[in-house]
Structure 1
Amino acid sequence: MTDYCEEQRNELEALESIYPDSFTVVSENPASFTIRVTSETGENEETVEATLQFTYVEKYPDDPPKFEIATHENLQNSDTADIMSLLTEQAQENIGMVMIFTLVTAVQEKLNEIVDQIKSRKEMEKLLKEKEAEEIEKAIFHGTPVTIENFLSWKARFDAELTEMKKKQKEDEQGGKVKLTGKQQFETDHNLDTSDIQFLEEGNNVEVDESLFQDMDDLELDDDDDPDYNPDLESDND
């Protein structure tokens, strides 16, 4: 007849020796304890962690123990679900034998795999970002290749803009908002050809006050003061 209590007590002593820094007793009756499992990684690498709680049932190890993930760090819901499935599978495979060390070892390996997956995912994300930046730089340098599709799209936008400009110009003309150049003004208004003549004709009617010039004869002006004086002409007259 199997002495379940003896087997359980012996396993607890062994586990406490194997995991001195991570083994913690939760209760004695029924016997329940936790073991903290951390991934094995190099320096400066991200780690993942799970604290497993095991509780013996009356007929353990002929019946599997109860287990759960008490706490965890850097694990996603899918990761914890995978760990629970792994524990269930390993427990069924080891019925009849003390199995806690085997279960913890399986979880340890699983955490290492998760860390490798995280590392690979980050490297892939880095490569994708570098590739995306390279493609953007290449597009800026080389421009967008002309295809039938993008040419037709550009042509449609160009025609629409041109039509809108013509429509606006027509509306401005109808509203008298068009600003004509000098040439266009002369071409459209022939009255501008003779507009300056009226100013010349009006100039003939300017009245001059002759009294302002009555004392001009009394002024003695030197030849040098005369603005019309030209000494060369005087020499020629002599």
Structure 2
Amino acid sequence: MSSEDIQEQQDNEFEALKAIYVDDVRDLRNSAWNIWHPLKFSLTLTPQQGSTDEANARVDLLVTCSDRYPFEVPQLGICNEKGISKEEAQLLLKGLQKEAQKHVGNAMVFDLSMYVQEFLFEHRKPSETSFYEQMIQRQQQQQLKEQAKLDQEASKCLFFFRKMQFKSVK
């Protein structure tokens, strides 16, 4: 494949990523003098869309491609991790490198981003609720307890009322 074909493939992949991830993609290439450079960008990723606690976990995936990408695995990095430990971030990076090997010869960044999102979904930590949310939860629990107590008392009263009715019928 010619260098022009590789450039076009990298540019097309980057445009597709920008269309999918919009503001979460940042081009890190030095584009002075309008000279083409291989892909170098960061992509902010959260757990899979539609999952609960989506924003509780997040990482920036750093991708640096050579002028031979996609026929070489790009350099990958993880930074600004939130909601996962450093050890989990290292585990994610190792998994990403293995995943990238499977896609050599093809555009792979979208597949790698999906891998990251799945990883974040599986390893995210539950979000901590604010004091206000905790207070509301306690109030709701207290209301439920009070309602259960009232229901129990009403049930007792109904039982005695029916018992009295039954005695008066005899």
Mapped contact 1:37–1:108 kept (Cα < 8 A): yes
Aligned residue identity for 2:16 = A
4 and 80 in structure 1: CA distance in 2 versus 1, 3 angstrom threshold: same
Matches within 5 A, 1:80-159: 80-115=89-124, 118-119=125-126
TM-score relative to the length of structure 2:
0.63
RMSD: 1.8
* Contact 2:10 2:38 survives alignment (8 Å): no
The equivalent of 1:54 in structure 2 is: 63
Residue equivalent to 1:71 = 80
Quote how far apart the aligned CAs of 1:47 are: 1.1
Amino acid at match of 1:5: Q
1:182 counterpart residue number: none
> Percent same amino acid at aligned positions?
29
Deviates more, 1:69-78 or 1:95-104: 69-78
Q: 5+ unaligned residues in a row in structure 2: which ranges?
A: 32-36, 127-170
1:31 is aligned to 2:39: yes
* Matching residue's letter, 2:41: F
| Cα displacement string for residues 173-197 of structure 1 (whole angstroms, at most 9, x for unaligned residues) | xxxxxxxxxxxxxxxxxxxxxxxxx
Counterpart in the other structure of 1:42: 52
Unaligned runs of 5+ residues in structure 1 are: 120-238
Distance in 2 between the 1:46 and 1:24 partners?
19
Matched, 1:5 2:7: yes
State the alpha-carbon separation in 2 of the partners of residues 47 and 70 from structure 1.
15
Looking at structure 1, the residues matched to 55 and 24 of structure 2 have their Cα atoms a distance apart, in angstroms, of 19
1:46 positional shift = 7.1
C-alpha separation in 1, matches of 2:39 and 2:21: 17
The structural deviation recorded for 1:18 is 0.6
Give the Å deviation of 1:55.
1.1
- Contact preservation (8 Å) 1:86, 1:107: no
Q: Which of structures 1 and 2 has the bigger CA Rg? A: 1
Q: What amino acid does structure 2 have at the position aligned with 1:6?
A: E
Distance between the aligned counterparts of 1:12 and 1:80, measured in 2?
24
